[in-house]
């Protein structure tokens, strides 16, 4: 490949998606107003643009989240290790301005959410169910690094199935989330992205892309960047090529209307 000419590597295989999976362990919750969880405390200027909620109680956990926007297509934003909702809020605001209903949340043991024994995949399932309870008719799962692995692990067991999945710099496994086991079971459109200059993560993205069934609409984009995870699409740090590719993927598979 001539890297001086082609700086963005995109591999796409388009086909009809298979039928959605039929089971999920997450009950549909009734999200409540924030009850003492100061979600987004480390970024008050951004957090005040969203509405704080608490969800996950039917699973035996309390997860703090911020809802932005009011669209009928919901997007779950799952953060990276060592982070919280603040990581996603600049991009989340951008999505909300484009007409999406967005839920960025703190995984258990991160940010405002107390620790629990609930798996990360179940937490993502609860977030998707919460968006539906909030009024979204369909959902997208999007995550960076640890969050990317978590949304992939959640996808095959989510019912209703997500409209699409975006995984940025996903490890093949992280803690209790195993993306390598989930990838062969994914039947909904899935976008794998990473920075070409990251260590290990481009190879992991390729591995997961290759493990995803060829009958699934799947896309792999490697950007000429050392940015990691969600920072690939962040309005301030992101790589323009991959930002554009993610936008086109969402417009194609999960438009706002």
pLDDT in tens, 101-141: 999 999 999 999 999 899 999 999 999 999 999 999 999 99
Residue ranges in the chain modelled with pLDDT below 50: 1-27, 29, 34
Please check whether residue 91 lies inside any domain of the structure: yes
Rounded Cα–Cα distance for residues 123 and 236 (Å): 28
Please check whether residue 29 lies inside any domain of the structure: yes
pLDDT for the residue 31: 58
Please check whether residue 70 lies inside any domain of the structure: yes
CATH of the domain at 214: 3.40.50.1820
- pTM of the complete model: 0.87
Rounded Cα–Cα distance for residues 116 and 201 (Å): 28
Q: Domain span at residue 23?
A: 9-253
170 burial via Cβ count (<10 Å: 0-12, 13-18, 19+)? buried
pLDDT for the residue 37: 87
Please check whether residue 2 lies inside any domain of the structure: no
Please check whether residue 4 lies inside any domain of the structure: no
Please check whether residue 242 lies inside any domain of the structure: yes
19 burial via Cβ count (<10 Å: 0-12, 13-18, 19+)? exposed
pLDDT for the residue 165: 98
Do 125 and 24 touch, CB atoms closer than 8 A?
Answer: yes
Rounded Cα–Cα distance for residues 64 and 42 (Å): 13
Structural domain count, the chain: 1
Q: Where are the alpha helices (DSSP H) in the chain?
A: 44-47, 89-97, 120-134, 146-154, 179-182, 201-211, 240-253
Please check whether residue 135 lies inside any domain of the structure: yes
pLDDT for the residue 225: 93
pLDDT for the residue 188: 98
Please check whether residue 220 lies inside any domain of the structure: yes
Cis peptide before 160 (omega within 30 of 0): yes
């Amino acid at each position: 490949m001539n890297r001086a000419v082609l700086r963005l590597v995109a591999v796409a295989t388009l086909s009809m998606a298979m039928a959605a999976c039929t089971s999920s362990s997450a009950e549909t919750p009734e999200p409540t107003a924030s009850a003492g969880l100061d979600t987004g405390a480390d970024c008050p200027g951004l957090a005040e643009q969203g509405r704080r909620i608490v969800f996950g109680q039917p699973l035996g956990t309390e997860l703090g989240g911020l809802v932005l926007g009011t669209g009928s297509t919901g997007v779950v934003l799952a953060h990276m290790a060592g982070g919280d909702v603040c990581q996603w809020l600049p991009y989340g605001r951008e999505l909300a301005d484009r007409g999406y209903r967005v839920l960025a949340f703190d995984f258990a043991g991160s940010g405002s959410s107390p620790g629990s024994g609930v798996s990360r995949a179940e937490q993502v399932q609860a977030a998707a169910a919460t968006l539906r309870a909030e009024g979204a008719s369909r959902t997208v799962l999007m995550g960076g690094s640890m969050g990317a692995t978590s949304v992939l692990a959640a996808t095959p067991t989510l019912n209703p199935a997500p409209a699409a999945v975006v995984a940025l710099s996903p490890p093949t496994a992280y803690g209790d989330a195993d993306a390598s086991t989930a990838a062969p079971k994914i039947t909904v459109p899935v976008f794998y992205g990473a920075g070409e200059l990251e260590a290990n993560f481009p190879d992991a993205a390729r591995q997961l892309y290759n493990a995803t069934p060829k009958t699934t609409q799947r896309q792999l984009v490697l950007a000429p960047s050392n940015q990691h995870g969600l920072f690939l699409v962040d309005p301030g740090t992101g790589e323009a090529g991959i930002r554009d590719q993610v936008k086109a993927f969402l417009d194609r598979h999960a438009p706002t209307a």
